[in-house]
Structure 1
Amino acid sequence: MAGIFTELGVAGRLAGRSLLRRLRAEVSAPPDLQAFTRGMQQLLDQATPASVGNYAWLTLPATQAPWFPGNFVLQAGDAVSYFVEGRVYANRFLDIYLNPALQLWCKVGAQGEIFRGTRNSHSFVAQSGGELTFGNYFPNDWADAQGQRKQSDAVYQSLGGELKILMIRWNGSAAEGLQQLLAHGDYQGRIQAELQRIEQGDTTPPGWHYLWHLGPGEIYRQQQDAHGQACIHCHTHADVGILQKDVDLPLTAHSEISWRWCINQLPSTLREDAVPSHDYLSLAVEFDNGRDITYYWSSTLPEGTGYDCPLPNWKGIEYHVVVRSGQAGLGQWLDERRNLHDDYRKYMGEPPARITRVWLIANSIFQRGTGDCAYAQIRLHSAAGDTSVL
């Protein structure tokens, strides 16, 4: 894992990039929350009582710990949409910030389960009655489905910025209400975008699911490669997602995993073992002790490099192993095969008993770059035979 001097070196390079972007006027200005409020309010002012039941506005400071009351009480079956704008800074100097879709989580009622949307707007039907409350996510993490946190809420004091949230309860379905509101106009295409998201539906590849405490996404989609074979395409930009598929196999000396992948673009040009540059694409395997080993393509680190995850919430859980490095081979379908038992013993210690999941990981939140790749023919191999994952 990177030491303090490596972290400082990465931070220095990111600071240089940020300064250069500022000199070139390429740093995007923070969202105009007043303009957002005016634009959405103008639409609401034209809405008919037949479509909009009621609405409310809320400002959520980045330093506010969960769960913050929205002063918006729902009944089971209510159709709701929310729209959010703003920016939460992890580091203003390095221009590291999170998009609202990743940062803003919700729940209905004190015992309700937490959830978030995949975009800066989201529509849902309340499964139970109670007050709609909101919570900042980063830099904490969820300990359970009711939104208890793994770290002290003091970690939120390191953040800056705020989010502006509009909550709307519809008299009919969300799609019907949005269509009626759209008849009076739109603001920056937000109403149309939410309608499109609803119409699109869930894009999660069949048989897979997103890691619950990171939340859902639109990063992965089931597709076909040039030969008509099933593959999963991944596109990430300023977001993060872990796609998982459950398995249950013994981990023995013969346990191997193989896969094909085509990496078109890496999300980082810096070494990935430091927190502010920890953007990467990978395939991972989880074991019954809760740990995982993740195989990834590094932009700069040598093949064979291994390190514990630098993110505080993932230290001691995830271990990174570089299986390819640099630009050579990008854009080509390549085959990989690893012995899981040997790699675990080499990098992590005494191997556990069983293999429990296969993951696909995409992270681009820190540098807000773009990563693009596809995976195919994922197989787990053992002395007893092969198991197809994809």
Structure 2
Amino acid sequence: MPGIISDLTVAGALFLRASARKLLSKNEPEPDLDKYSAAMQNLLNRAPEGLIKDYKWLDIPGNCPPWVASGLSLEIGDEISCFMAGRVFASKPLDIWLSLALQVWYKVGDGDIFRGTHSSHSFTAQDNGPLQFGNYFPNDWENLQGERQQDDKVYQTSSGGSRILIIRWHKPAVECLREMLSLGDFEGRLRCEIERIDIGDTTPKGWSYLWNIGRSNIFRKQPSESANDCIHCQTQGDTGILQKDVNLVLDKNTEISWKWCVDQLPSTLREDTVPSHDYLSIAVEFDNGRDITYYWSSTLPVGTGYDCPLPNWKGKEYHVVIRSGKEGLGEWKDERRNLFDDYKQYMGEPPARIVRVWLIANSAFQRNKGDCKYADIVLHGKQPLKVL
């Protein structure tokens, strides 16, 4: 079971890893904000008349709670592009930091909060009102209005910050970005944002992302050599939970079966501590708000079960190791679990119904690559229910 000893062991391993990278100059250098600002301002200064309506620069310290006014008030239909640079540390000694795509969220007027999938994000305003930005981690959202689950004092543990350039265009964002690109670029930021817009939403049809984690481009429908109907998961330095609604009675015979091919695990350490909680999994959510998630561990023995170590997920999510180590990576594996028995063994008295199936990817802490394919997900009750 996880505890203080395993926490300290993992923290020690991460500290040694960070120290070695620093000694060998293999750490990803912190962004040079002055260079970033000067280069992007130069592009702004060269923009032809009639392209940019207005723009703002905004600095947000990593220990600042939401929400921070940008100085821009938007109207429905406004075309906006935001470019971000910086780094917000959860722990500088352990070199744990979150990508700004995860960390920085947006809010327009009284509308719902949202985030981008990259360090740049273009959008069309859906509401009238001031554009605001807010840090996400280490808190979590209570609702779509941006209220928080924990006291805002938790932000005091964070350091670093982000610098945001906000541009309001006269025309559709992608048209303006292409015109700007003809004048130059900095670190490929304009080109990458254009490519992101051109690719569009990769969310598999019939699935949606868990709102308080936010939309990402981790998952996409992509045929494989072994399965035509396959969802491919690729993650590095990000996180996402893909969900599909179902409605099924949970009884003693209820099972879930699936096939998966895990090519690369995102963690090299035991996953049951906060700073090493990177993993790939499939989960089932019940009508009591709890879920059980099955994953392939890098080191923990098969059968290991534990409550999620993340403070905002304790008592909600339970992890069960069903495969471990490197053996079998890169091969398609068939899995089948009795959900009633697993719930009773690991979590207590089973609830009445199953309401969702999840695919989870987290690589935010160690920022390693994770790669996995899922196929043939079926819930077995009185009649089989094909999920994928």
Q: Which TM class, normalised by the smaller chain length?
A: over 0.9
Please name the residue that 2:224 is paired with: 225
Please name the residue that 1:49 is paired with: 49
- Provide TM-score, normalisation by structure 2: 0.99
Secondary structure, counterpart of 2:175 in structure 1: helix
CA distance in 2, matches of 1:317, 1:11: 24
Deviates more, 1:218-227 or 1:94-103: 218-227
Please name the residue that 2:363 is paired with: 364
* Shift, 1:227, TM fit: 3.8
- Provide TM-score, normalisation by structure 1: 0.98
Please name the residue that 2:79 is paired with: 79
**1:19 aligned to 2:19?**
yes
CA distance in 1, matches of 2:387, 2:344: 23
CA distance in 2, matches of 1:60, 1:227: 47
Please name the residue that 2:330 is paired with: 331
**1:286 aligned to 2:293?**
no
**1:300 aligned to 2:299?**
yes
Secondary structure, counterpart of 2:197 in structure 1: helix
Please name the residue that 2:33 is paired with: 33
Please name the residue that 1:387 is paired with: 385
Indicate the RMSD between aligned Cα atoms, in angstroms.
0.8
Please name the residue that 1:100 is paired with: 100
* Shift, 1:179, TM fit: 1.3
The residue identity in structure 1 corresponding to 2:386 is: S
Please name the residue that 1:251 is paired with: 250
Runs (4+) of structure 1 moved beyond 4 Å?
none
CA distance in 1, matches of 2:127, 2:21: 47
Please name the residue that 1:241 is paired with: 240
Residues 322 and 228 of structure 1, relative CA distance in 2, 3 Å threshold: closer
CA deviations over 1:72-118 (Å, ceiling 9, x no partner):
11111111110001100000000000111110001111x21101100
Deviates more, 1:46-55 or 1:87-96: 46-55
Residues 220 and 147 of structure 1, relative CA distance in 2, 3 Å threshold: same
Q: Give runs of aligned pairs for residues 345-360 of structure 1, distance below 5 A.
A: 345-360=344-359
Segments of 5+ residues of structure 2 without an aligned counterpart are none
* Shift, 1:258, TM fit: 0.2
Deviates more, 1:143-152 or 1:219-228: 219-228
Segments of 5+ residues of structure 1 without an aligned counterpart are none
Q: Give runs of aligned pairs for residues 372-383 of structure 1, distance below 5 A.
A: 372-382=371-381
* Shift, 1:228, TM fit: 4.9
Q: Give runs of aligned pairs for residues 131-142 of structure 1, distance below 5 A.
A: 131-142=130-141
The residue identity in structure 2 corresponding to 1:243 is: L
Secondary structure, counterpart of 1:254 in structure 2: coil
**1:270 aligned to 2:269?**
yes
Q: Give runs of aligned pairs for residues 83-232 of structure 1, distance below 5 A.
A: 83-109=83-109, 111-232=110-231
* Shift, 1:269, TM fit: 1.1
CA deviations over 1:281-313 (Å, ceiling 9, x no partner):
100000000000000000111100000000000
The residue identity in structure 1 corresponding to 2:291 is: D
Q: Percent identity of the aligned residues?
A: 59
Aligned residue pairs, count: 388
CA deviations over 1:320-353 (Å, ceiling 9, x no partner):
0000011111000000000000000000000001
Secondary structure, counterpart of 1:27 in structure 2: coil
